[in-house]
Amino acid sequence: MKAPRPRPATAATAALLIAGLAGATACTAPAPHPAGGSAAGKRGFTLAASGDVLPHDSIIRAANADAGGDGYDFRPMLAGAKPVISKADLAICHMETVYGADGDYSGYPSFKSPPQVARALKATGYDACSTASNHTLDDGADGVRRTLDALDKAGVKHAGSARTAAEDRTPAWLRAGDAKVAQLAYTYGTNGYPLPKGKPWTVDLIDRGKIVADARAAREAGADVVVVSLHWGSEWQDAPDKQQLRLGKQLTASRTDGRPDIDLILGTHAHVPQAYEKVNGTWVVYGMGDQVAGEMINHEGAHDPRGNQGTIGRFTFAPPAEPGARWQVKKAEFLPMWFDTDSVRVVNLNTALDRGADVSDVRDRVRRVVLSRGAGKDGLVMGK
């Protein structure tokens, strides 16, 4: 979607924010080991995840202004998420766009973002990002290569797109607490762009059989926790659509030797916050909304403030109670977020309310949507 009215960047919101320390350590693929094992002495972990990073032209201009006109600095606009993201043991973002090079940057409809986004994600505390989206092929295989090269250089792991067939067969391997975590990512489509000739592995498309097979392979390779990021759903629809509900139920029902193959599903794409729901004993976030985006225009051609609302999901995992059992989510939280297009800053709505900002209507709307499928009865709470 496009953002027609750019706003000047200011540091007003960022000045109120408190920085934290990064928690998780990304790692290369761990040596295979029996999944599960004894819980004695093992440490649990918190996982935080957020929605689409979608730099429109106005966002690119703001990052240039934040860099003093020399280059691009996306760190100030993400600073509002840092206190939450950096304190999690493991933090996952969704990098919706690919990166350009040498000043060749663009927003909607074919995105090419400055690669400095990757450094800002790392500075905010992100350990990994899903990179499978409908914009992954906006600049073909070259755009994918530049994006993954920049994320590698910044020290951010990635899943969902690949430069080689071998890379496509490997999830993003991460470590959090005493758990080895595998992240997988898939998209519903690529806006009509064909997969590069001879490179069908460039981006992973949603296919139930492949997702289950990949999750099982990750488990066999030593994953204690398997996280699946899905770019899915219907844009501008608060409620998950039939495909999301059906696929979410199918994936969470998949088991091997009685143990779920997937431990968490994180959804993006709809541009608006969607519900969280516990399905077959596994948490599904249908849509986290946009984390960074310009002023959003919906399908009716109207400015739609929902496109700048989102959530951070935070899940606390505990070690298995016995060998071969799953790591359990012992606490599930959501944090209502907002991207203020006036200041061009991410805002934690609860923090803003504590400081006297008049954002209660936005916060309450996000909360209603998130809890709309009864997640409260399964223990989902609003965090700080």
The string of pLDDT tens digits covering residues 66-118 is 999 999 999 999 999 999 999 999 999 999 999 999 999 999 999 999 999 99
List the beta bridge partners of residue 381: 333
Mean pLDDT of 187-215: 98
Span 217-255, pLDDT tens digits: 999 999 999 999 999 999 999 999 999 999 999 999 999
How would DSSP label each residue in 167-224? Answer: HHTSPEEEEETTEEEEEEEEES--TTPPPPTT-TTSBPBP-HHHHHHHHHHHHHTT-S
- Dig out the tokens for 216 from the structure: 């099982």
Q: Give residue 198's identity as a one-letter amino acid code.
A: G
For residue 93, the tally of other CB atoms under 10 A from its CB is 31
Mean pLDDT of 157-178: 98
pTM for this prediction:
0.90
Q: Give residue 313's identity as a one-letter amino acid code.
A: G
Does 207 have pLDDT greater than 60?
yes
Alpha carbon 288 to its chain's center: 8
Alpha carbons 90 and 23: distance in angstroms, whole number: 7
Question: Please, is 259 exposed, middle or buried when counting C-beta atoms within 10 Å of its C-beta (0-12, 13-18, 19+)?
Answer: middle
Strand duo 45-53 + 309-318: pairing = antiparallel
Does 15 have pLDDT greater than 80?
no
List Cβ neighbours of 209 (8 Å cut-off, separation of 6 or more). Answer: none
For residue 33, the tally of other CB atoms under 10 A from its CB is 12
Question: What's residue 40's pLDDT?
Answer: 60
Alpha carbons 219 and 215: distance in angstroms, whole number: 6
Main-chain phi, psi angles of 145, to 5 degrees:
-60, -45
Which CATH number does the domain 14-382 belong to among 2.60.40, 3.40.50, 3.60.21, 2.160.10? Answer: 3.60.21
Question: What's residue 39's pLDDT?
Answer: 58
- Whether the CB-CB separation of 113 and 97 falls below 8 Å is answered with yes
Mean pLDDT of 181-200: 98
Question: Please, is 70 exposed, middle or buried when counting C-beta atoms within 10 Å of its C-beta (0-12, 13-18, 19+)?
Answer: exposed
Nearest to 72 by CA among 110, 113, 128, 12: 113
Strand duo 128-130 + 112-113: pairing = unpaired
Q: Where are the domains of the chain?
A: 14-382
List Cβ neighbours of 268 (8 Å cut-off, separation of 6 or more). Answer: 51, 52, 94, 96, 130, 133, 229, 230, 231, 232, 287, 288
Alpha carbon 88 to its chain's center: 14
Nearest to 348 by CA among 320, 311, 293: 311
- Whether the CB-CB separation of 287 and 272 falls below 8 Å is answered with yes
The 8-class DSSP code of residue 383 comes to -
- Whether the CB-CB separation of 97 and 33 falls below 8 Å is answered with no
Mean pLDDT of 36-51: 80
